[in-house]
Amino acid sequence: LTVNAQIFGDGPLRKELEAIVRREGLPVTFEGNVCQKRIFEVYQKHAFVYLCNTSKIDTLPLSVIEAYVWGVPVLTNSRPGLSDYFEYLLTGYLIDDDSITQDAIQQLTSLQKYSRLSENCQNYCEEKFPSHNTWVDTYCALYADVLKD
């Protein structure tokens, strides 16, 4: 199985990541900041896509919900907020440490497991966010909860 990674967005670690990619000769392309349409094109074009979101700041990123809509499983770290809308092994995998084990790689590259995760993501999204109004309601409830503390 050949894996090519595309990294979208920019951040303080980009230069460090680019240096690692060059040094290790990894098949990674840094796309930078792109419009949402470009992300959706990637979701449509490729049959085997994961969204990796390890922000320590954004507790409920819309990118995760959008990935679910497209049936794209999520690789993420455990953090408040997102844990309410992420189910380990149902909608993706937790990657809290810096090492990825051989077992994790086998899990991530199994087409059968990927297909199951992809279907789970779409079903989960339909259940948790049946319409865009639900998304707005969810965000408003989350912000209201945070503000009352």
Cβ-count burial of 94 within 10 angstroms (0-12 exposed, 13-18 middle, 19+ buried)? middle
Q: What pLDDT tens digit does each residue of the chain (149 aa) get?
A: 677 889 998 888 899 999 999 999 999 999 999 988 899 999 999 888 999 887 778 877 888 888 998 999 998 888 887 877 888 889 988 877 665 666 667 777 888 999 999 999 999 988 888 776 676 677 777 777 877 86
Q: What angle do CA 23, 56, 119 make, to 5 degrees?
A: 85
Query: Using CA atoms, how far apart are residues 106 and 117, in angstroms rounded to an integer?
Result: 14
Token representation of residue 134:
């639900």
Q: How many CB atoms lie within 10 A of CB 119?
A: 11
Token representation of residue 132:
């865009």
